[in-house]
Structure 1
Amino acid sequence: MDAQTEPFRAVPAEVRPYLAELVGRTHAVCGPRLAGVVAVGSLALGDYRHGRSDVDVTVLVEGPPPAAVLRELAAALDHRRLPCPAAGLELVVYPAEFARVPSGEAGYLLDLNTGAQLPGRTAFDPAGAPSFWYVIDRSVAHQSGIALYGPPAPEVIAAPGPAELYPAIRASVREHDDGEGHLADNRVLNGCRSVAYCRTGRWSAKRDAARQVAAAEEEFRPLVEAAVRSFERPRAAALPLPGPQVRSFLAWVRARVDESAAAVGA
């Protein structure tokens, strides 16, 4: 395997050709402005499930580039022109200088969601948008991101500090507590991941975090194990979970996050 394909060994075989083409198209559009392409999310944490997981990618550009370049990139990576073999592509473009500094802001230049199982989204202005997803993704990227192009992820993406990260985790739990637009299993497993982070200071794959919580919290073990069984099925075949138990679990998660935030002064 040559130097150009070596980075892709770290991602599942099912998405390697797609990611190689994505990097090639991104470089063709951005040219010398391109500072990095990093696989994040389940790819970075080693828990990608083909047919269930999204492909999450962070792109870093110097500049920032003209708006026309960002529109061209969104068009080049649209599922209709570059079919995504995963459930969908969630791609975020940041100014390289923004990503190098810890921040609690969304800060993106382009937020693109596209794919067979994702509602389409192409946004160029983060004003007024919730920032928590982006803050958490950058924290995961700094810890475990896979550099598909450019320097190692920790060199180009700063880790948000506790003052930025814990409010983002709280907001994530509130979002999943509301439940709108989220599968029940994902609500539970994201809660497990938040608790595991609070206890260890590291991001875990959802199923690893679920095992930690199930082993330590007998009260919630049946719910968490049911969420894992559901997560191992395709999205369209996800299992229903009892709403009151999910809400009770997420209330417990919120309390654990608040305790951890208070302990670090966040």
Structure 2
Amino acid sequence: MTRTLVDPYSVPDELRPYLQEVVHHTHALCGSHLVSVIAVGSVALGDYRHGRSDVDVTVVVDKAVPGPAVPELAAALAHPALPCPAAGLELVVYERDFAARPSREAGYLLDINTGPLLPERADFDPSQAPAFWYVIDRSVAHQAGRVLYGRPAREVIAEPARADVLTALRASVREHSTGEGHLTDNRVLNGCRSVQFCRSGRWQAKRRAAEAVAAAEERFRPLLQAALHSYERPSRTAATALPTTEVQAFLAWVGERVEESADADRRG
């Protein structure tokens, strides 16, 4: 039986048929063991840009899900078998008991990247994965996840401890400081999002975070405006390069803000 989205109008028009198919395939393979399918990332934060953004999805299943279902799901969702209309699909599957408790671990059953602009990847072993990506994604999911099927995000995905999120942000800043595998504008905008989380404890869309930091930090305003202009171009391939020295200086400043937040929390 076809499974419909809980609220079709909560997701962008360009993604609606695709996410319907993601839910349908996931339910077909997991059946009654499927707990939730949740949109996270730019869709959850209301800043999806067609042609530029990935589609980020978190799936929660119970521990009795049949063993073959998870690898079969990876195959069923692989592009172009299921054509992805976005830059790519990043989908993570968690077991319900793991997702329901705060954790600093990666902890997934499956992590797949697929789509026209993503290198194909399906991983079933979280032991060697950089955990910070998953801690941040679960924090976003708990705060803002849009349920596509099943139980609401806040009921099935625990909020990681703030100290663990700050540790994850440290690792994220280090990752983006290297520049490897990341568009320059995205490195800057993720830095803005980290700063805004430190200040408010809430996740904001990248563009909204960049606008807030630019308004408060005059010295970085030209860089942030250039990053926003690049991000608003129609595709990833149209993104513009930003000055390396300025990007590194900004990310060093972001790292200092994360450390200040962690120190303030420790003091108390």
Identify whether the pair has TM-score above 0.5, normalized to the shorter chain.
yes
| Counterpart for residue 168 of structure 1 | 168
Decide whether the 8 Å contact of 1:12 with 1:48 is kept in 2.
yes
> Which whole-Å CA distance do the structure 1 matches of 2:73 and 2:133 have between them?
22
Cα shift readout 1:78-106 (whole Å, capped 9, x = no counterpart):
01210000000000000011001000000
Q: How does 1:71-220 map onto structure 2 within 5 Å? A: 71-220=71-220
Decide whether the 8 Å contact of 1:190 with 1:206 is kept in 2.
yes
The offset of 1:5, in angstroms, is 4.1
The offset of 1:63, in angstroms, is 1.2
* SS of equivalent to 1:85: coil
> Which whole-Å CA distance do the structure 1 matches of 2:28 and 2:236 have between them?
33
Give the aligned residue type for 2:213: V
Give the aligned residue type for 2:252: A
Structure 2 length-normalised TM: 0.96
> Which whole-Å CA distance do the structure 2 matches of 1:238 and 1:128 have between them?
31
> Which whole-Å CA distance do the structure 2 matches of 1:265 and 1:12 have between them?
41
Q: Does 1:236 find its partner at 2:237? A: yes
| Counterpart for residue 251 of structure 2 | 250
> Which whole-Å CA distance do the structure 2 matches of 1:10 and 1:168 have between them?
28
Give the aligned residue type for 2:43: L
Q: Does 1:30 find its partner at 2:41? A: no
Give the aligned residue type for 1:137: D
Decide whether the 8 Å contact of 1:64 with 1:95 is kept in 2.
no
> Which whole-Å CA distance do the structure 2 matches of 1:156 and 1:263 have between them?
30
The offset of 1:65, in angstroms, is 3.1
* SS of equivalent to 1:71: helix
Give the aligned residue type for 1:32: S
The offset of 1:264, in angstroms, is 1.2
* SS of equivalent to 1:113: strand
Give the aligned residue type for 1:89: L
> Which whole-Å CA distance do the structure 2 matches of 1:165 and 1:194 have between them?
10
* SS of equivalent to 1:38: strand
Give the aligned residue type for 1:181: G
Q: Does 1:223 find its partner at 2:233? A: no
| Counterpart for residue 263 of structure 2 | 262
* SS of equivalent to 1:252: helix
Decide whether the 8 Å contact of 1:91 with 1:113 is kept in 2.
yes
| Counterpart for residue 11 of structure 1 | 11
Closer, same or farther: CA 73–105 of 1 in aligned 2, 3 Å:
same
- Corresponding residue pairs, total: 264
> Which whole-Å CA distance do the structure 1 matches of 2:57 and 2:4 have between them?
18
Moved over 6 A (4+): none
Cα shift readout 1:141-184 (whole Å, capped 9, x = no counterpart):
00000000111110110000122111001101110001100000
Q: Does 1:62 find its partner at 2:62? A: yes
> Which whole-Å CA distance do the structure 2 matches of 1:144 and 1:127 have between them?
27
* SS of equivalent to 2:76: helix
* SS of equivalent to 1:147: strand
C-alpha RMSD of the superposition: 1.2
* SS of equivalent to 2:68: helix
The offset of 1:262, in angstroms, is 1.1
- Give % identity: 64
Decide whether the 8 Å contact of 2:114 with 2:120 is kept in 1.
yes
> Which whole-Å CA distance do the structure 1 matches of 2:192 and 2:174 have between them?
14
> Which whole-Å CA distance do the structure 1 matches of 2:75 and 2:105 have between them?
26
